[in-house]
Amino acid sequence: MTELLSSSTFWMALSIGCYALGVKIQQKTGSALCNPLLISAILVGVLLVATGTTYQTYESAGQLISFFLTPATVALAVPIYRKLDVLKKNLVPILAGALVGSLTSILSVLFFCRLFGLSDATTRSLVPKSVTTPIGVALSEMLGGLAPVTAIAVVFTGIVGAILLPTFLKCIGVRNPVQMGLSIGTAAHAVGTSRAIELGETEGAMSGLAIGVAGLLTALLVSIGSIFFA
């Protein structure tokens, strides 16, 4: 039993199984609150505590799962290609929207961190919270932040965005698929995009595009900011 619990393959399979269960629960309930990533994170966390398994043991399984993030992200190019005509017609609004969204995310973090008196290291760790994990962690390390804090913030932002954003956007009158997809992808990266895909092909394509555009713009803004405010 000890050998099984120390096996990265076991925890990887268990994580995938918990996520699959989360997907089934969401399909069954139809509730955005039943986010598969949130459900799987809770289940895996409970199992880790119950079995006394350390994070270091689980981390190797997490690395195996992270290996597949790149091809999964690249696969988002398929719906983008299918909606290439929509992209061409809305290129300027898409770039402008992603820029404003990225800038708002960074400034809001700086404002609230200062408001609540958070440490400089924590602030630097939270700045890239709205971009996909690989970019966010790289930016955090460049700024001198804490990569684990950044990773948690990115996942938390994505889950909250996936749950709340579609409803919030409808409440404020946003109905256009391009606007909705762009908003979700810019604010909630890959986790939000998984939700956007459920809303429609155009929403999913625009959200997938926003991940890359917002990631690049955030990296550019952070780099410029680090030069002027170093």
Mean pLDDT along residues 103-114: 92
**CA neighbours closer than 13 Å in the CB half-sphere of residue 179:** 8
Query: What are the tokens at 178?
Result: 């391009």
Residue in 160, 147, 200, 155 with CA at minimum distance from that of residue 178: 200
Asked whether residue 119 is domain-assigned, the answer is yes
Q: Is the pTM of this model over 0.75?
A: yes
Q: Which of 184, 151, 178 is nearest to 41 (CA)?
A: 151
Secondary structure (DSSP) of 165-187: HHHHHHHTT---HHHHHHHHHHH
Angle of the 147-171 helix axis to the 177-199 helix axis, nearest 10: 110
* Position 72 in a domain: no
Residue where a domain terminates, one of 17, 36, 67: 67
- Looking at 18, 46, 67, which one is the last position of a domain? 67
Alpha-carbon torsion (107, 112, 117, 123), positive or negative: negative
Task: Determine the pLDDT at residue 219.
Answer: 87
Residues 27 and 122 in one domain: no
Classify residue 126: in a domain, yes or no.
yes
SS3 of residue 172 by DSSP: coil
Q: Are 107 and 163 within one domain?
A: yes
Task: Give the range of the structural domain holding residue 56, as residue numbers without chain letter.
Answer: 2-67
Asked if 204 contacts 178 with a C-beta cutoff of 8 angstroms, the reply is no
**Residue 113, pLDDT above cutoff 90:** yes
Within-domain flag for 178: yes
For 51-90, write each residue's pLDDT tens digit.
888 877 887 777 777 777 667 666 666 766 777 787 788 8
pLDDT (0 to 100) of residue 1: 65
Over its C-alpha atoms, the chain yields an Rg (Å, rounded) of: 18
The first and second tokens of residue 147, run together, are 């990569």
The residue ranges of DSSP E strands in 58-196, in sequence order, are none
Same domain, 93 and 19: no
- Average pLDDT rounded to a whole number, residues 108-131: 92
pLDDT in tens, 198-221: 888 888 888 888 888 888 888 888
209 part of a folded domain: yes
Q: Considering 29, 45, 67, which residue would you say is the last residue of a domain?
A: 67
User: Cα separation of 129 and 153, whole Å?
Assistant: 6
Report the percentage of the chain scoring pLDDT > 90.
23
Cα separation, 89 vs 59, in Å, equals 43
Residue 185's nearest CA partner among 171, 196, 198 is: 196
